[in-house]
Structure 1
Amino acid sequence: MSRVVMAAALAASLLVAVPASGTAADTDYTLSVDPSAKGATIDDSMYGVFFEDINRAADGGLYAELVQNRSFEYDPADNASYTPLTAWAPAGGTLDVVDDDGRLNERNRRYLRVGLPGGVINSGYNTGVNVERGERYDFSVWARTDQAAGTPLHVGLTDEAGADLAAPLKLQVTGDGWKKYTGTFDARQSSTNGRLLVNGGGTGTLRLDMVSLFPRDTFKGHGLRSDLARKIAALEPGFVRFPGGCLVNTGSHEAYEAPNWERRRSFQWKDTIGPVEERATNWNFWGYNQSYGLGYYEYFQFSEDVGAMPLPVVPALVTGCGQNRATDDPALLQRHIQDTLDLIEFANGPADSTWGRKRAEMGHPKPFKLTHVAVGNEENLADEFFARFTQFRAAIEAKYPDITIVSNSGPDDTGANFDRLWQLNRDAGVDMVDEHYYNSPSWFLENNDRYDSYDRNGPKVFLGEYASQDNRFFNALSEAAFMTGLERNADVVKLASYAPLLSNEDYVQWRPDMIWFNNHASWGSTSYEVQKLFMTNVGDHVVKSTASGTAWSPTPITGAIGLSSWATSVAYDDVKVTAADGRELFSDDFSGDAGNWTGNGAGNWGVVDGAYVQSDVAATNPLVTAGDPTWNNFTFSVKATKKSGSEGFLIPFAVNGTGNPFWWNLGGWNNTRSAVDGGNSSRVFHADNTTIETGRTYDLRVEVRDRHVKLFIDGTLWAEFTDESGKNPEPFRQVVTRDQATGELIVKVVNAQADAARTKIDLGRTTRVKSTARATVLQGRPDDVNSEFTQPVRATETQVKVSNSFTHTFPPHSVTFLRIKERQR
């Protein structure tokens, strides 16, 4: 996941303008289709899913285990609120979580020692253990006793008040060596607040580890929660990217070793295979513990179960996600390269190979047919990453020349790091580059043509993570409009996956998300509905089509002015704003107080020696603003001095409270580069390596004329640009594909506006089609959100009349797919 520093700081205060709902007028469009003109071929794997253990997507989510902290490995080092008994409560006796020579194994080190009589109760995830009447639940525990006659074990599945939801299990623990004990509950009552009671009788000491409760009904019997897995399978994904994301390249890259069991390790595949009780547990980058019950074998198995291509991501020994460190240990690098070669053998090797045998022992003698491996994720150190990627690539190509090796372009959709990585990837002839971005809905509407200008002979694009920044229907509409551009450029964009895939509503680290759930229910977001519509109606190739656009009248860049900083103390003076005709609109030389300025409460601002000084070097974006939000065609000048800290100046302009202001960021990114970005398009308009000197005073000037901006440093033009986002983003987008198997043209139209789109559709004079077509429609209000209890945005199907030339009105705020059957000529 990418976290753009500026976007994170502003997210709480930015508003995205969306069309209002209400009575719709008709706006006229034309759509011309040439069925004889074959465009880009669309691969079967075009759309897929990206699974990362974020928002409790694995434990408490897709992994069907109902017991939380089943092996007592939770630790405050992973989360300050954790103890080894998190999610457990005493049920009599004395309880101690210990790590000694009596442990279950070297990777499962902690266990519970119970002084008898006594036991524990587990509360599962969310409100408790979900139990459904008529279903079966399989219990297991590893246990040992110091009593020669054995220890009776009472296992109950109860509601919150202690009433039985199923007949209790009666087990007998024998011997002072670890053994696995099992039983099955037949639920007689339902509850979303269930509890699992494990209680030992008699005297002496009972030891417990790996306490587990699984629903018998899992997806294809492979241990995954059925409703979540079915929703993913219903997307018909072409690939599954896993396990991350930030999990891949954050934390220690050292191997798992017993003395280092508490280390925060990056996700390494060898930790996650073999008997589940022998797998490591690990700190999770997203703030909780992960059990690795859902490991690489299960990822491969799930990919196969849903008919998707597996696409694992391995660490390149350069951290990402804001950490920005590179490992300079040649031996460690070679170990990870060898681990990647071993991973390919685990997936594809014969059952008598070293790692293929381990796969076979886990129950899958046949290979998993791995074809793609991604190295690295969102690295912000372009050259350091690429030097290591090159070594991975050479080793993989030497042993497995048929494997496609995926590189990446960092965490952002543009900028210096993005440009550098693309240059390195192009120069090296890399097969595929993974792009990630999370932007406003306006950005997605405006960037439908993003890939039109990409080099057709360069690396292909894997759009591994993208989403519009909310889960409302207008966000889904903007994503749908963008996806028409992905399909139009299917010769360049070969793979694409929305992210994140899953979120437990009670454990949210990131939003938006595609599928939401709690311990008993799951529901698809509006974006899920859009993704499902596109993913299940792809087609085999693009058909040439052109559409008219929406008329617009440009409006000038408008807004007040601001001053800010980032982890830096700054002094500003002699602020002036003049109109284009020279009239003075605003002036402040700070000879008095700073009463003209309004702050956001951050930082420490004050007038010092005739300048406005922000002195808190820890403050991030202590924004102050002044002036009239209706200003346009103005010049804004200020003298700026860096006093101390890690960066330079933040100069916002066009601040009007209705969208994203423009930000002139001088000496940003730890004083390594400068950029101007923002506006309703949220684009970076210029970036370079300008840095800011401490103690030097700079004369900064911003000239705004209609939609054109010029920026000057000490009287010298630094950059200029024209922002065309003054026009509303084009709300009418379309693409046409052909389904060869059914003989259908699939006309896909997104109408992301409050007006209905009355469209004359021309399929050509010689095209013969059946008189009715199937229309699948998603429609709603811009602010509609799907939830557990209501899903206002759901697909509906109707039959519509068509011909080789017909008029169809696409509803306001809608996505419509028309499947038009061609007649044989």
Structure 2
Amino acid sequence: MSRAVMAAALVASLLVAVPASGVAADTDYTLTIDPTGKGASIDDTMYGVFFEDINRAADGGLYAELVQNRSFEYDRADNAAYTPLTGWAPTGGTLDVVDDDARLNERNRRYLRLGLPAGVINSGYNSGINVEKGKRYDFSAWARTDQAAGTPLEVGLTDPAGKDLAPRVKVQVRGDGWTRYTGTFQARESSTTGRLLLTGGGTGTLRLDMVSLFPHETFKNRPNGLRKDLAEKIAALKPGFVRFPGGCLVNTGSHYGYDATTNWERRRSYQWKDTIGPVEERATNANFWGYNQSYGLGYFEYFQFAEDIGAMPLPVVPALVTGCGQNRATDDPALLRRHIQDTLDLIEFANGPADSTWGRKRAEMGHPEPFKLTHIGVGNEENLPDAFFDRFTQFRAAIEARYPDITVVGNSGPDDTGGTFDRLWQLNREAGVEMVDEHYYNSPTWFLQNNDRYDRYDRNGPKVFLGEYASQDNRFSNALAEAAYMTGLERNADVVKLASYAPLLSNEDYVQWRPDMIWFNNHASWGSASYEVQKLFMNNVGDHVVPSTATGTPANLEPITGAIGLSTWATAAAYDDVKVTSASGQALFADDFSAGANKWTGTGSGTWAVVDGAYAQSDATAQNTLVTAGDPAWRDYTLELKATKRAGSEGFLVAFGVKDTGNYYWWNLGGWNNTQSAVEKAEGGGKSTLVSDGTRIETGRTYDLRVEVRGRKVRLFLDGRQWGEFTDDRLVEPFRQVVTRDRQTGDLVVKVVNAQADAAKTKVELGGNTWVLPAAEATVLEGLPDDVNTEHTQPVKARKAQVRVSNSFTHTFPPNSVTFLRIKDRRR
């Protein structure tokens, strides 16, 4: 009996194959692996996490503070609905929030003044403050009184009806100078709707500021620390790096300049020096995402967290060119020099000796040893490529002159393609930039079509930091598409050196963006399907790629079919003389709106009406006002129309190939605040860009538009001249694989994604000279495409089993699944 047959017999007596649901695909697959070969090496930092204070990721999230608006700094400048007492309510007496010479400090200007006796109560975030029976909570507040004998202050943890959840804390406030008072609660009951109650007795005036409540148990039990369950979920990913603090948060804001000592202003860009030192001395600021941020979670805490979870810190600083749709450049040489110096100071804060100026500040915060910073990003998603790169070059020159071992990371703008992307890559290549940060959020189909994206990159050019990417939803089908794409990232680990899904966190009651990796409320947290995929990849990376090939899935590309549509985005526009003709010249549709607009249907967004013989949408604030007409079965046709922008920030949107409101193509002219134009493909609500340029649209000018659809090819004409063309013929490949070698264990890690409804019966060939142990560990994620993990149910969870393997074996991968097989070498 051969050794292979003996091995198979042994396995048969020991193991049961992983069960597969569904029906095997009509065409089987073959996966051929060369275990002796060695592909690209994979760095330990390949996968990481990107933290941005979006979706209440910091205050009300990872930052463990339970009191909202603890220093009474909320303001309409942060959010139109805010007041200095947002989150607070009086319980008796008189109180007001003031800013005068009695303030706590120059950057913590407002405080609460109570005319005694009086009380106030804070409701925290979400439905209230989460209190768990038996656990301890640490209270603190800064206070002062004008009563020589002092003022009694009683502090309680209650439910909304006023019932105590813990014995009350009593302190005696003494003196008319600011003093910090502390106390600890031990909860005797649980509640997710807790309140923090403060009651001052006696007479006179009591002043309060920086009212705080922390769970005593934080991540690593650090003071001013992190929410334990969220930090532990991030740590469980075993990330190789942490990119922080953003994102659009970094390079947006009303302005950049302020005098740090005498002229603090409310609204400005994120600046790291605001976020260090004693928390009561840190600034608060308006967040780009529409709420206030306290900076209690600041640069020191980011560095500390990265160190605690064994990850490389990767901060990103503003380049004085805004991004994320704002598109402004600051032309102030002195301000630029100051920001460059701030960046040099940041590196000193992270790495400088404890007796240096900024290293001393780090040491004073409790960390005398350096944080070992090696990479720093300058800028984020700037859409003014030349203006950005001019400033980036100055940052880079200053950093490399002072700190030659620091890698300065550039970027390629806000999308995976287009004029900004091409120009920035050109500039980065010509300047010899070491690493370029790419960002894109696309449909699941895009990720299934573009597994080979980095196969085509220059192996000798700048390396890629894929700093933000995600498929545009949180269903398991999205996670499957991301998993398929990640096999291409690993295969190209010589080009893609860093990659992080984004965003990381979302509070379910404060959502500015989805999808997100980890979801939470005030008492629970859960990983999305994408979290499970990321965790599986990040915990099984391997040290180098092992060459492998797989047969593909047969595909049949149908021609583009669909109706037509008109839309606007934050713009008022009018459309007229809409015509659709077949390729042979047959009239399919015509509307000059002389008889009204009864041929068109829409979702109700915007204000559509026939005005002066044209179909006009007049609401310049409404987004995606799509109305459609025609036959979804149309193919090989030409769409012609006239369009006029009347007001607003963008241009027009002309749709074709419309199947429904979530699946269509549209020509987005004057998009992104009228900075560029593109054709976008929408699938299941997610979009990807097919072709783009810098065309802008003029208000009041009428444009002639023509779209020719022929098979899978589309040509677009603007005022009689060809604007662009594309052929949407990339194949969707649902079966993807990559194989890596874990040097420590010797394991072959075979990673297979089957993102389709059929099981994939696969013959796996390891070669005749390969001898492996018959038992392999399988880790499997599988489910239905629409499965979504929630607080109460997590249908997408990893399960483990053992499978039979040999140097040639057949395994059926379940439908809609990600499977990792760890195959052990008999010689180890």
TM over 0.5: yes
Q: Deviations over 1:409-452 (max 9, x none)?
A: 11111111111111111111111111111111111111111111
Which SS does the other structure have where 2:401 is aligned?
Answer: helix
Q: Distance in 1 between matches of 2:434 and 2:702?
A: 48
What residue number does 2:314 align with? 311
What residue number does 1:24 align with? 23
State which of 238, 260, 276 in structure 1 corresponds to 2:279.
Answer: 276
CA separation of 1:118 and 1:745: change in aligned 2, threshold 3 A: same
Q: Distance in 1 between matches of 2:24 and 2:557?
A: 21
Letter in 2 for 1:438: Y
Q: Distance in 1 between matches of 2:698 and 2:92?
A: 66
Q: Distance in 2 between matches of 1:695 and 1:353?
A: 59
Q: Does 1:504 align with 2:503?
A: no
Q: Does 1:460 align with 2:457?
A: no
Which SS does the other structure have where 1:650 is aligned?
Answer: strand
Which SS does the other structure have where 1:555 is aligned?
Answer: coil
Q: Verify the 8 A CA contact 2:678 2:691 in the aligned structure 1.
A: yes
Q: Distance in 2 between matches of 1:503 and 1:637?
A: 43
Map 1:368-767 onto structure 2 (within 5 A): 368-564=371-567, 567=571, 569-573=573-577, 575-590=578-593, 592-601=595-604, 602-606=606-610, 608=612, 621-638=624-641, 649-657=652-660, 659-666=662-669, 668=671, 673-678=676-681, 680=683, 682-690=687-695, 700-713=705-718, 717-725=722-730, 729-767=732-770
Q: TM-score, structure 2 length as denominator?
A: 0.92
Q: Verify the 8 A CA contact 1:594 1:607 in the aligned structure 2.
A: no
Letter in 1 for 2:157: L
Distance apart, 1:505 and its partner CA? 1.1
Letter in 1 for 2:559: P
Q: Deviations over 1:189-208 (max 9, x none)?
A: 22212222222222221111
Q: Percent identity?
A: 77
Q: Verify the 8 A CA contact 1:634 1:703 in the aligned structure 2.
A: yes
Letter in 2 for 1:26: A
Distance apart, 1:175 and its partner CA? 1.3
Which SS does the other structure have where 2:104 is aligned?
Answer: coil
Which SS does the other structure have where 1:438 is aligned?
Answer: strand
Letter in 1 for 2:422: D
Structure 1: gaps (5+ residues)? 1-20
Q: Distance in 1 between matches of 2:72 and 2:29?
A: 63
Which SS does the other structure have where 1:445 is aligned?
Answer: helix
Letter in 2 for 1:66: L
What residue number does 1:247 align with? 249
Q: Verify the 8 A CA contact 2:326 2:673 in the aligned structure 1.
A: no
Letter in 2 for 1:809: T
Distance apart, 1:460 and its partner CA? 0.7
Distance apart, 1:667 and its partner CA? 5.1
Distance apart, 1:590 and its partner CA? 5.0
Q: Verify the 8 A CA contact 1:590 1:607 in the aligned structure 2.
A: no
Which SS does the other structure have where 1:249 is aligned?
Answer: coil
Distance apart, 1:612 and its partner CA? 5.2
Map 1:786-805 onto structure 2 (within 5 A): 786-805=789-808
State which of 231, 238, 245 in structure 2 corresponds to 1:236.
Answer: 238
Distance apart, 1:527 and its partner CA? 0.7
Letter in 1 for 2:33: V
What residue number does 2:12 align with? none
CA separation of 1:68 and 1:371: change in aligned 2, threshold 3 A: same
CA separation of 1:283 and 1:48: change in aligned 2, threshold 3 A: same
CA separation of 1:528 and 1:671: change in aligned 2, threshold 3 A: closer
What residue number does 1:127 align with? 127
CA separation of 1:22 and 1:536: change in aligned 2, threshold 3 A: closer
Distance apart, 1:677 and its partner CA? 3.3
Letter in 2 for 1:55: N
Q: Distance in 2 between matches of 1:640 and 1:173?
A: 69
Q: Verify the 8 A CA contact 1:593 1:607 in the aligned structure 2.
A: no
Distance apart, 1:599 and its partner CA? 4.4
Distance apart, 1:253 and its partner CA? 1.3
Q: Verify the 8 A CA contact 1:359 1:365 in the aligned structure 2.
A: yes
Structural RMSD (CA): 2.3
What residue number does 1:199 align with? 199
Larger mean CA deviation between 699-708 and 428-437 belongs to: 699-708
What residue number does 2:362 align with? 359
Q: Deviations over 1:162-198 (max 9, x none)?
A: 2222221221111111111112122222221222222
CA separation of 1:174 and 1:497: change in aligned 2, threshold 3 A: same
Q: Deviations over 1:215-261 (max 9, x none)?
A: 11111122111111110000000000011111111112123646644
Distance apart, 1:559 and its partner CA? 0.9
Which SS does the other structure have where 2:346 is aligned?
Answer: helix
CA separation of 1:630 and 1:523: change in aligned 2, threshold 3 A: same
CA separation of 1:193 and 1:489: change in aligned 2, threshold 3 A: same
Structure 2: gaps (5+ residues)? 1-19
Which SS does the other structure have where 2:397 is aligned?
Answer: helix
Distance apart, 1:480 and its partner CA? 0.6
CA separation of 1:360 and 1:586: change in aligned 2, threshold 3 A: same
Q: Distance in 2 between matches of 1:281 and 1:670?
A: 29
Q: Distance in 2 between matches of 1:772 and 1:385?
A: 55
Q: Verify the 8 A CA contact 1:348 1:370 in the aligned structure 2.
A: yes
Q: Distance in 2 between matches of 1:539 and 1:70?
A: 45
What residue number does 1:149 align with? 149
What residue number does 1:220 align with? 220
Letter in 1 for 2:790: S
Q: Distance in 2 between matches of 1:361 and 1:133?
A: 36
Q: TM-score, structure 1 length as denominator?
A: 0.93
Larger mean CA deviation between 735-744 and 656-665 belongs to: 656-665
Larger mean CA deviation between 507-516 and 644-653 belongs to: 644-653
Which SS does the other structure have where 2:467 is aligned?
Answer: strand
What residue number does 2:4 align with? none
Q: Verify the 8 A CA contact 1:570 1:644 in the aligned structure 2.
A: no
Distance apart, 1:569 and its partner CA? 3.6
Q: Verify the 8 A CA contact 2:608 2:615 in the aligned structure 1.
A: no
Which SS does the other structure have where 1:117 is aligned?
Answer: strand
Larger mean CA deviation between 430-439 and 23-32 belongs to: 23-32
Q: Verify the 8 A CA contact 2:575 2:641 in the aligned structure 1.
A: no
Q: Distance in 1 between matches of 2:204 and 2:698?
A: 71
